[in-house]
Chains A and B, each alone.
Chain A
């Protein structure tokens, strides 16, 4: 079975500062990994995903994440935070080839201070 742990339910950064949102996963088979973003009163939108190939993946809005198998991590980063990045972020895992079973972390709420 798969599971996801997001460290830190709330993260606050200043505008222009580095954003780092942490995600660790547990999976008995090779995983596919995802980051989603949720703006207030909206559904989830895909930011980026890792399936196979390059372990550093780039997504929308300047975000990127690196799959580190040895650390079972898939942390999300952005070099310079923007006010519009304030939202809730969810990490998710699914077994490779079985997308019926997608598990989400508890979410991290990002606040960006001016």
Chain B
């Protein structure tokens, strides 16, 4: 089974702190994604990466950065946490382009971040 593991299920951080959310996948997937989930808004893409050291902005990248130094690990960084970043964060991975029918994303359990 594909496994996507997020380092924390729940986090509470203070405004202005630098926050790291870690995600590891064990299926050698090329693509990795960070989404933010808020009620009534569904999942919104923050950043994705299609290869080591490669990253692309999603729909809501402001206030976030990412790092992918190894294929299996994709980190989301909140440079200076703010209360409007309180949310559920979901990491996902998938095979790269060219795998025509095996395109689904596999998700981690989510990290519920509260910024106070």
Do B104 and A42 touch (CB < 8 A)?
no
Do B41 and A51 touch (CB < 8 A)?
no
Do B103 and A99 touch (CB < 8 A)?
yes
A18 at the interface (CB under 8 A from B): no
Interface of A is mostly: loop
Q: Chain A contacts of B112 at CB under 8 A?
A: 41
Q: Chain A contacts of B108 at CB under 8 A?
A: 43
Do B97 and A43 touch (CB < 8 A)?
no
**Could you write out 13 A-B pairs with CB less than 8 Å apart?**
A34-B104, A36-B107, A41-B112, A42-B110, A43-B90, A43-B107, A51-B103, A52-B101, A90-B43, A99-B94, A100-B50, A104-B42, A106-B42
A interface list, Cβ under 8 A from B: 6, 9, 32, 34, 36, 41-46, 49, 51-52, 90, 94, 96-100, 102-107
